[in-house]
Amino acid sequence: MVKHSGISKYTSQYIPDALWDIFNITPEELKGLSVLESSVYLTRECNLKCQYCKIIKTELPKELTIEEWIEAMDILEDIGIKFVNIAGGEPTVLDGLPRIIKHLSTNTKMDFSIVSNSLFGAKKAEDLVDAGLKAYIASVDVLGGGDMKVHDLRKSSAGLKMLVKLKEMGVPYLCANIVISATNIDNVMDVVKFLSDEGIWVNICPIIWGKGDKWDEIDIEDERYRLGPEHTDKLKAIASELIEIKRGGALILPTEPYLEGLPSHGVLLDWRCCTEKIETPPPRLTIDADGSMMSCINMRGDVAEKYKIFDMRNKDTYNKFLRDWWAEAKSCDGCYWSTMAMASERQDMLTQLKNKPGWLES
Ligand code: SF4
Ligand code: SF4
């Protein structure tokens, strides 16, 4: 099961237990691991064209087949991944998605979630639940916004309906992704409270723009969505209210340090997933729809031209990829994705754990 819910309590004194609780793994298993999480772009195709979406702007000559994805999932498990987030594009446009879910739920021990725009029918929802879907993330970022494009509104409304439907169908872990932008900043807290009251977890991050893969090709209209210094005070108020209600039991997924950083990093997009001085592995392995190993969810990067997920079967190649990843990522200007920041925190826990004197000596 996905157990992000308790992450905020993991201050340093809890570190030895945190990773084991979240991913249900033994200390012996942890010792050999370098990366715990993965995000996969199952496809870059989508049945929507959201205004701020950068993913669908990159078309790949050939995407992996369902069989190849199943093989890729086995490789991820073999190299120690404990959690896979299946994203896109829109993963549900692939008819074979239930087969991948079935494989993950019956043949692997990895936890997994799907992030979707929720524009699929009752039959597909049933197929996914029957296949073993336990964690579902919907985008409802612009609920109630007054200045939205039709595609954005369709996604938010479908997301809410699908969360309610999947709740009725017994899917235990339901989450809504909210992207804060200049157009929805005034109603974000209403949306968060509504969802939390409904028993739905809320993940939140600022709109990311202006850097990385194809970001230089952003449409002029995107200007309306961007967060700038003029939004800092509103973001401060949102961050402190989020922290307050999270402490009071609201179902807010991001950690307190992440929320505290929202007013600054959310505007400047200057959070870094690694440092220039110490070589570290990526917070998450990100796999593109053609099987390439990406720099991160923002960028394919040079590593994508060199490595495919299938190359990671070879341990030396995997280690070489990790080194090349750092060599490239350390010069990145930054971003502020909650998923990347939280994965990074978990990697830090793992590193601290491994560096603890006397920890699992052998
Ligand atoms: S639903 Fe997601 S993948 Fe599709 S266009 Fe919108 S943001 Fe992009
Ligand atoms: S800081 Fe890291 S995760 Fe963020 S855009 Fe740069 S390489 Fe990607």
Ligand 2 binding pocket mutation candidate from 208, 209, 296 (most atoms within 8 A of CB): 296
Among 209, 295, 342, which residue has the most ligand 2 atoms within 8 Å of its CB, making it the best to mutate? Answer: 295
On whether the CB atoms of residues 285 and 36 are closer than 8 A, the answer is no
Looking at CATH, the fold of the domain delimited by 4-355 is given as TIM Barrel (3.20.20)
Q: Is 324 helix (H, G, I), strand (E, B) or coil?
A: helix
Beta bridge partners of 163: none
For residue 119, give the ligand nearest its CA.
Answer: 1
Q: Is the minimum distance from the CB of 295 to ligand 2 under 6 angstroms?
A: yes
- Cis status of the peptide bond prior to 266, with omega within 30 of 0: no
pLDDT one-digit tens code per residue, 69-125: 999 999 999 999 999 999 999 999 999 999 999 999 999 999 999 999 999 999 999
pLDDT given for residue 198 in this prediction = 87
The stretches in the chain having pLDDT less than 70 are: 1-20, 51-52, 141-155, 210-222, 357-362
CB distance 88 to ligand 1 below 6 Å = yes
CA 53–ligand 1 middle distance (angstroms): 6
pLDDT (0 to 100) of residue 165 = 95
What integer pLDDT is reported at residue 226 of this predicted model?
84
- Main-chain phi, psi angles of 110, to 5 degrees: -75, 140
The pLDDT of residue 207 is 85
Burial class (CB in 10 A: 0-12, 13-18, 19+), 193: middle
User: Quick one: which atom of ligand 1 is closest to the CA of 54?
Assistant: 8
pTM, full prediction: 0.89
Q: Judge if the beta carbon of residue 303 lies within 6 A of ligand 2.
A: no
Whose alpha carbon is nearest atom 7 of ligand 1? 53
For 210, left (φ over 0), alpha (ψ -120 to 50), or beta? left
Instruction: Give pLDDT, residue 349.
Output: 81
pLDDT at 149: 55
- pLDDT for 2: 39
Report the separation in Å between the CA atom of 28 and the middle of ligand 1, taken as the mean of its atom positions: 39
Segments making up each domain of the chain, as ranges: 4-355
Q: Which is it for strands 284-287 and 111-116: parallel, antiparallel or unpaired?
A: unpaired
Instruction: Write the burial class of residue 275 (CB in 10 Å: 0-12 exposed, 13-18 middle, 19+ buried).
Output: exposed
